[in-house]
Amino acid sequence: MFDYSMAEIGNIVVMQAFSGLSLFSVLLLMALGLAVIFGQMGVINMAHGEFMAIGAYTTVFLSKVAETYGIVNYYFLFAIVIAFIIAFIIGYLVEFALIRHLYKRPLDTLLATWGLSLVMQQIFRSTFGAKEVSAVLPEWLMGSFQPTPDIDIPINGVFVLGLALVVTVGVYLFMFRSRWGLRVRATVQNRVMAGAVGINTKKVDRVTFALGCGIAGVAGAAFTTIASTGPTTGSLYIVDSFMVVVFGGAASIMGTIASAFGIAQAQSILQFFMTSSMGKVATLMVIVGILMMRPEGLFASKVRK
């Protein structure tokens, strides 16, 4: 490490710090939708990754449309909104057709949604083909921002970070500052009582599930800037998503944020000093260790059981 000048080390520290933040934002975006569904409803949604793929495919499709009309520079923000809406609608239908029959058997939701994920993967494959596709990105999302000639901050990373913050604040406001959020929290705390005071708990469930799926769609759209999209893209994300949510403590949005931050920083730093795969192994060991001591995760929920 000491063959390098102070300036070089300084530059790397800056870029490395950003790479940690960037990984944090990716993990956070992945996990937020799941935190809403798993944390608030207790539904183990194995098809979470496929809802991300819906968002990603929406973006890819819109990018092709934008390309034919020559408006590639403007479509991306619009694509994120459409990705949210489409994933929201499909989530709404899935809740209606499948999930609502399984609320009393939470472990069965695992099997049912896993089956759903396989079905969705095959639908993607039949519709969009087996090959991986990439969205055409607008000029302004490509390349890097250079405060000095030796520091490169990837612009897509900055964008994903910004988006993660916006979505997190949005979820926070929705859950803790709106009437809807109040109803969701009431249903989580005591379903029967919430029903008794006139909350339509079924409707609350449906909207909560759809919202989680919508957020997954946004995440999927954002990830087209860093990776490609294929029928099985979703399965790449599902393990990390669950890891973040479980480690953070299932029912807590704050826990999800803290856990995404902790995992991202640990992984990013360890991967720099060890090899990439060893860094990941070490991170997982730490998580397992902490979960053994705190099985409820970092932020234990104070839900009345």
Partner 1 sequence: MSNNTRRHFITKTGALMGALLAAGMISGSAFAADFPTAKVNTTKLAVTDTTVKVGILHSSTGTMAISETGSIQAEKLAIAQINAMGGVLGRKIEVIQEDGASDWPTFAEKSKKLLVNDKVATVFGCWTSASRKAVLPVFEKENGLLFYPTFYEGLEQSKNVFYTGQEATQQILAGLDWIAKEKKAKTFYLIGSDYIWPRTSMKIARKHIEQKLGGKVVGEEYIALGDTQFGSVINKIKLKKPDVIYAAVVGGSNVAWFKQLNAAGLNSKKQNMLTISVTEDEVLGIGGENLEGFYSAMKYFQSLKNPNNEKFVAEFKKMWGPKSVIGDVTQAAYLGPWLWKAAVERAGSFDVDKAAAALPGYELKAAPEGYVKVDPNHHLESKLRVGKWLANGQAEVVYESELIKPDPFPKGYQ
Residues in touch with partner 1 (CB under 8 A): 4, 8, 12, 15-16, 18-20, 22-23, 26, 122, 125, 130-134, 136, 142-144, 146, 152, 154-157, 223, 225-228, 230-233, 235-236, 267-269, 271-272, 275-277, 279-280
Q: How far is CA 167 from the centre of its chain?
A: 10
The minimum distance between CB 74 and partner 1, in angstroms, equals 19
CB closer to partner 1 out of 57 and 223:
223
CB closer to partner 1 out of 148 and 200:
148
The minimum distance between CB 107 and partner 1, in angstroms, equals 25
CB closer to partner 1 out of 227 and 303:
227
Q: Which residues face 154 on adjacent strands? A: 144
CA distance 161 to 140: 15
CA distance 180 to 3: 58
CB 197 within 8 A of CB 57: no
CB 174 within 8 A of CB 183: no
CB closer to partner 1 out of 39 and 231:
231
The minimum distance between CB 7 and partner 1, in angstroms, equals 12
For 160, residues 6+ apart whose C-beta sits below 8 A from its C-beta are 22, 25, 26, 29, 222, 223, 225, 226
SS3 category, 198: coil
Which among 192, 262, 230, 196 is positioned nearest to 31, based on CA atoms?
262
CB closer to partner 1 out of 132 and 296:
132
The minimum distance between CB 121 and partner 1, in angstroms, equals 9
The minimum distance between CB 184 and partner 1, in angstroms, equals 32
The minimum distance between CB 57 and partner 1, in angstroms, equals 13
CA distance 39 to 194: 18
CA distance 31 to 133: 24
CB closer to partner 1 out of 224 and 252:
224
The minimum distance between CB 180 and partner 1, in angstroms, equals 33
Please identify which residue in the block is written with the tokens 């098809």: 47
| Number of C-beta neighbours around residue 123 at 10 A | 13
